[in-house]
Structure 1
């Protein structure tokens, strides 16, 4: 991929804004997705994240790029944006050393909380895939987070939203994003080339779960639900050993 493609990709990345978007989503309960976290910046919802142990969470590296850990905290165990659950401040923040904001490659970061998560029916870790575990085309996954229902709206949902999406063919994903240089082995697409259900700003860093595993992290894309531009996710399985090396999980 050439540099101008990287720059173009960076210009359309789903930036981590408070007004998150899940196009076509329906309301969900945190009990159904107890690993879901709201990553807050300056006390407002900023990105999604996922619990992977009693003191570690994972998110997208672009969510924490050039952000001091002192400005961040996570909210666990609540179906509601900015309300309820438990608050955990960040003790350690580790972004992948090869993360590049221009290419959005290696878009993954680890968060160690200063006070452990207390597990309950509303707070639980999500299982991680094995290293290089195959992600089969057509597998249905569920993405969750808080957001508005269409691109450009300013008022985000107060409630947790859920949306089911299929893992796309890798070749089709590269065709769809050819103008932006395609995707790398650390990425995959989920959604529909014809448009429809999708995720957007504010849900970066959030989980895409399939068969009880964290298979993807919301990373980047063009608008929301736009035809020919499905959502692009960080492929967790190819970064599993990195997670283990730096978190012990």
Structure 2
């Protein structure tokens, strides 16, 4: 399931799972179990919104006029319906709001397999980079399992029945190479975790709904884009991200041509 929408199917599955497995941990806390942070800590973080100001996904500034986000975030919109808020800890006020000129998502995106879950957005006007608005460098080498990373966003603070915070949150996690994530240690299996993905895990720590498209960062570079997961912070189900390094050629070429 992607991190953008909750569905009736998910709710039914959760209730059924809880009845059959009373030992399941239900996550409560922040992003999940993260902490509040100021935008200066993640100046590349942006809120992707409708032009009415409704936040629905995260993204990252990768140049003065280019935002990286998830393909699944872009499925229901035209560019004219979108805006981006940059440089603000709050998703609802402050910073700069810039409209979107165009966007393109990966031609190989598959909503069933969740492969190639990346999209590029072009802003109507370039932004001036400051301490609160700054592009992030993209990783160009594969993730190393066990590397410390951080994911940020304005998503919900638990899987179900939680509102989205107005102020930015972050949570620390550890990277998992896709081959490690696909091992029997975790519950996805090798058919679900594919080469254009990277995972991140933490004890009851994860991204959640509304964080989709946002940045996973390690060693000062963006290594992932929030993509999908089974629940949020459920034991045995790491968060799954689009792998920036394996998709970097497409990102660079699309950013240059769009």
Please classify the TM superposition score into its range, dividing by the shorter chain length. Answer: 0.7 to 0.9
Q: Do 2:113 and 2:192's aligned partners in 1 also have CA atoms closer than 8 Å?
A: no
How do residues 113-128 of structure 1 correspond to structure 2 at under 5 angstroms?
A: 113-128=123-138
Q: Give the superposition deviation at 1:156.
A: 1.6
Match of 1:218 in 2: 226
Match of 1:14 in 2: 3
Counterpart of 2:215 (choices 182, 185, 207) is 207
Question: Which whole-Å CA distance do the structure 2 matches of 1:177 and 1:66 have between them?
Answer: 30
TM-score, with structure 2 as normaliser: 0.85
Question: Which whole-Å CA distance do the structure 2 matches of 1:47 and 1:204 have between them?
Answer: 5
Q: Give the superposition deviation at 1:231.
A: 0.2
Question: Which whole-Å CA distance do the structure 2 matches of 1:99 and 1:170 have between them?
Answer: 18
Q: Deviations over 1:142-193 (max 9, x none)?
A: 100013322213422111001110012534421324468321100011014x
Question: Which whole-Å CA distance do the structure 1 matches of 2:162 and 2:188 have between them?
Answer: 30
- 1:31 match: secondary structure: helix
> Given the superposition, is the C-alpha separation of residues 179 and 170 from structure 1 closer, same or farther in structure 2, using an over 3 Å criterion?
closer
Question: Which whole-Å CA distance do the structure 2 matches of 1:23 and 1:229 have between them?
Answer: 14
Larger CA deviation: 112-121 vs 174-183 = 174-183
Q: Deviations over 1:44-83 (max 9, x none)?
A: 1100000000100100000001321122111000001211
Counterpart of 1:248 (choices 218, 235, 256) is 256
Question: Which whole-Å CA distance do the structure 2 matches of 1:139 and 1:108 have between them?
Answer: 22
- 1:246 match: secondary structure: helix
Give the 4+ runs in structure 1 shifted more than 4 A: none
TM-score, with structure 1 as normaliser: 0.87
Q: Do 1:16 and 1:46's aligned partners in 2 also have CA atoms closer than 8 Å?
A: no
Q: Does 2:79 match 1:69?
A: yes
Q: Does 2:43 match 1:34?
A: yes
Match of 1:144 in 2: 152
Match of 2:18 in 1: none
Match of 1:228 in 2: 236
Q: Does 2:73 match 1:60?
A: no
Question: Which whole-Å CA distance do the structure 2 matches of 1:188 and 1:37 have between them?
Answer: 21
Unaligned runs of 5+ in 1: 1-11
How do residues 158-197 of structure 1 correspond to structure 2 at under 5 angstroms?
A: 158-174=166-182, 175=184, 176-178=186-188, 181-192=191-202, 195-197=203-205
Q: Give the superposition deviation at 1:92.
A: 1.2
Q: Do 2:115 and 2:196's aligned partners in 1 also have CA atoms closer than 8 Å?
A: yes
- 1:91 match: secondary structure: strand
> Given the superposition, is the C-alpha separation of residues 96 and 177 from structure 1 closer, same or farther in structure 2, using an over 3 Å criterion?
farther
> Given the superposition, is the C-alpha separation of residues 29 and 109 from structure 1 closer, same or farther in structure 2, using an over 3 Å criterion?
same
